Amino acid sequence: MKGLFNTVALTSFILIFALSSCGDDDNDDPQNEAQCSVTNITMISAEDDGNGNTRADTAFVQINYDTEGRVLSIIEHYKEEECTMTTNCQVDDSDYETRFAYNGSQIASIRFFEDNVELPDFSANVTYDGDRISTYRTSEPADVDEYRFVYENERITRIEFWNGTSANSLALDETIEFSYTGNNITRTEYREENGDLTFAISATFDDRMNPNFNNFTLFSANLAFDDVYELPFLFSENNPVSITSDDRIDQEQFIAVVTYEYNEFGVPVSYSLAESGARDFSFDAEIVNVCE
């Protein structure tokens, strides 16, 4: 369950970053002038490691807004089925909710719920540097995670992940570094605290508007499935169509192709990801947008 609690926490981080981001004011393409809000997502993934171990995940996500367009809550019904040697299966079927309160455009408080019961021992804290996020911290008993953001020209170039048993014992665990082409992340590198490269992601993109770029609530459900594809979907202006990931520790490579269906505004309403390489992994999503 701890892994999914971290998922909910990262969902909040994504939303926080979205609320502190700027729109793409330099794009003159009429299709990108539409403002689209994601209200519902259905997401399904399947994984087979080739050794008789399988995993199937399904999420139904509802995103609720206030009259100012701020996200008030993210509600997720999540079902996970993991099978060992195809017969020994465990099922996790739960409901999760994250609720937000605001001070102007900045998040003032975050509350977490599982199966309609608030989680009193799980909390999140955000600090800002002006309008930009400086740190985002999540806390459980004897487990504190903190994300520290480094900017260059108003764009995130590095995220430092710190961890400890308390706020006073945090130590650098991992650094995530971004390289951009235009407004798209074309390479992401994960490095240990000593600088050693452990994981790298390269991506290419289409020329359509990515609703994740300024509405990262869409990305919230992705975290429940697979973290390999998080960042190309999160910080890029357009939609990734090919993603190559290299695991330097296990000496494995994954290559994924993503296909989309778009609405009349050029915004994805569904996408399908198929991966080849060291594992068999697929991911499909149906998205409901309200566009103006």
Domains: count for the chain: 1
User: How confident is the model at residue 212, as a pLDDT?
Assistant: 65
User: How confident is the model at residue 197, as a pLDDT?
Assistant: 96
For the four alpha carbons of 134, 156, 28 and 262, in that order, the dihedral sign comes to negative
Distance from CA of residue 9 to its chain's centroid?
10
| DSSP labels, 136-197 | EEEEETTEEEEEEEEEETTEEEEEEEEEESSGGG-EEEEEEEEEEETTEEEEEEEEETT--E
Positions of the chain with pLDDT under 70: 1-34, 86, 211-212, 214-233, 277-280
Q: Rounded to 10 degrees, what is the CA torsion of 10, 16, 20, 23? A: 70
CA 88 → CA 4, 58, 81, 112, distances in Å? 21, 19, 10, 31
User: How confident is the model at residue 225, as a pLDDT?
Assistant: 38
User: How confident is the model at residue 226, as a pLDDT?
Assistant: 46
| CA atoms within 13 Å, Cβ hemisphere of 74 | 29
Residue range of the domain that includes 86 = 2-291
CATH of the domain at 14: 2.40.160.190
Q: Is the pTM of this model over 0.95?
A: no
User: How confident is the model at residue 86, as a pLDDT?
Assistant: 62
